[in-house]
Amino acid sequence: MATLFLAQQPDADELLRTDPLALLTGMLLDQQIPLEKAFMGPYVLTQRLGVPSLDAAAIADYDPAEFGKVFAQVPAIHRFPGSMAERTQKLARAIADDYDGDASRVWTEAKDGKDLLKRLGALPGFGKMKAQIFVALLGKQFGVQPDGWREAAGVYGEDGSLRSVADITSRETLTRVREYKKQMKAAAAAS
C-alpha cells in the first residue's frame, strides 16, 4: 500500500492509511477548508480524545455539546466546528449501526463498483461527487478495485487525471490538483 500524502504530515497520513474511519472522516471534513487541514482533522481528533484510533461507537455516543467543544478547541478542527462535529457524529453512528463499527466493511463487502458508490453515497455527508472521489481514492491508492470501480468513480477514476484527493501522491501532485480546482472554479465563475 502506498504512503499517503493527504494531510502532508507523516503521523496523520499514517492514521489515514491504517484507520478506515479516519479516512472516511477526513473525506467528510474535506469541504470549505484546505484539504490538508481536512485530512489532518482525524489525527487532531485522536490527539484531543487521547486515543490511538477512531472508534465509531465512542464518537457516536459522545455528548454532542462536549464533542462540539473538542472540534472548536483552538485551532479548530474545521472552519465550521459545530456543524462538522455533528456530521462526524452522524457518520460515526452510521458506521456503528450499519457496519458494526468497522468502517472498512463499507468497501470490503461491496459487491461491485456500483454497490460501493451506493454504500458511500448513503453515508451522512457523502453526496455523489464525494462518494465518487472516495471510490477513486480507494481504487487508486488502496487497491480496492471491485468490478466497475472506475466507472463508478466517473472522471475521478481516470488514470493521471489529477482532479481530486484520489490523485495526490506527493507535494507536486497536490499542487497540480489545486491548479486544476482553481481552473474549474474560474471556469464556473466565468459561465
Name the H helices within the chain: 10-18, 20-29, 35-49, 56-61, 64-72, 81-98, 105-108, 113-121, 128-141, 149-153, 171-190
Contact 41, 26 (CB under 8 A): yes
**What does the pLDDT read at residue 2?**
63
What's the pLDDT score for residue 191? 84
Q: What pLDDT sits at residue 106?
A: 98
Whole-angstrom distance, CA of residue 140 vs CA of residue 138: 6
Spatial CB neighbours of 181, under 8 Å, sequence gap ≥ 6:
none
Q: What is the pLDDT of residues 107-163, one digit of tens each?
A: 999 999 999 999 999 999 999 999 999 999 999 999 999 999 999 999 999 998 899
pLDDT at 184 (0 to 100): 85
**pLDDT below 70 — which residues of the chain?**
1-2
Q: Residues 174, 179, 183, CA angle at the centre, nearest 5°?
A: 150
Domain range list for the chain: 1-103, 128-191
pLDDT of residue 181: 86
Q: pLDDT value at position 156? A: 96
| Terminal Cα distance for the chain, rounded | 41
Distance from the Cα of residue 89 to its chain's centroid: 14
